[in-house]
Amino acid sequence: MSTIRNGEWILKKIECLSICKRVKRKEIALVVQELSAKFPLTELLKLSSIPRSSYYYFQKQSDKDYSFDIKNIKKVFEENKGRYGYRRITIALNKLPEYENNPINHKKVLKLMRLLGLKCKSSNVSRYNSYKGQVGKTVKNLLLNKIIDEENHKTYYERNFKVSKMNEVWCTDITEFKLGETKLYLSPIIDLYNDEIISYDLSECPTMYQIMNMMNTAFDKLNANDKLIFHSDQGWQYQQTSFQNSLKEHNITQSMSRKGNCLDNLVMENFFGRMKTEMFYGIHYDSLDELKEAIHDYIYYYNNKRMKCKLKGLSPVEYRTQSYSFV
């Protein structure tokens, strides 16, 4: 689209700015600057009735006013390797002493990121499936709430991933990393309270040894009075008698997703998607050892540094530490 139909785009922008007060020429110039990435500047200036000299004057002033913010936005974006979008960058900036008395608005961060061409990595995941049919015993999904709609005579199920404390629900799954002709399998456990990876294991092939090694590390995190639900898909590993007996020995109740329903284990799917987007897709690794080191580094980063909006801008470990410091 090279032309603007009847000034529709810019007039809509100007209308939004003028809801509460009269639009100033400087504000219109900023809108023109934003739209100039998509539309011809000459047409935008004509529609907005701003002289070209005034536009360049306000643009120069804008660059000067925003130079401090731009510098910090770039710094946070680069430190996190392009993994943060405007929401997390806003939270990160407002944690800095420089913004303590004058916090930056998320809309301003979004606008500046667009002008800078900064965009966080998006997820595009191919899923590894460990399901091999029913090779052992499967169990019910305990993370489903049965909803009875008497008015419409319908019954449906609602997934419930909300918990109130640590060691209430753990989720697990396995994902596959392909590097040339070789493969690497990651099996982690996430605590739904703060989405922290409490245990994980890397292996070049999916085996029961990998699962039990992960579980033995996780068992050490349990307290005597914990009543834990352990949720997974119907992968062959979780149907094994030896695995199920180990859960019973630690008073853990097993839960499984419904067959062929990956959304029942959405927390794990989201983690794998985000992880691969941020440290695997589009990145070249020379060896399996290099990939292993990158995975170890990412999980440490995810647990200790990567802030989550749902955790009030804290990392999983920070949220756990803060929550239990008052107990």
47: three-class secondary structure by DSSP: helix
pLDDT of residue 204: 94
Is the pLDDT at 130 greater than 60? The verdict is no
Rounded distance between C-alpha atoms, residue 107 and residue 109, angstroms: 5
Task: Please state, rounded to an integer, the average pLDDT across all residues of the chain.
Answer: 84
pLDDT of residue 236: 92
Rounded distance between C-alpha atoms, residue 190 and residue 182, angstroms: 26
190 vs 3, residue with greater confidence: 190
As given in the structure block, the two tokens for residue 177 are 């990393």
pLDDT in tens, 223-246: 989 999 999 999 999 999 999 999
What's the Rg (C-alpha) of the chain? 25
Burial of 203 (0-12, 13-18, 19+ CB in 10 A): middle
pLDDT category, 127, cuts 50, 70, 90?
Answer: low
Q: Name the fold adopted by 144-324.
A: Nucleotidyltransferase; domain 5 (3.30.420)
As given in the structure block, the two tokens for residue 36 are 């100039």
CB atoms within 10 A of CB 172: 24
For every residue of 232-289, DSSP letters joined together read E-S-GGGG-HHHHHHHHHTT-EEEEPPTT-GGGGHHHHHHHHHHHHHHTTT---SSHH
Is the pLDDT at 57 greater than 60? The verdict is yes
Counting residues of the chain whose pLDDT is more than 90, the rounded percentage is 46
pLDDT of residue 21: 46
- Where in the chain do CATH 3.30.420.10 domains reside? 144-324
pLDDT category, 69, cuts 50, 70, 90?
Answer: confident
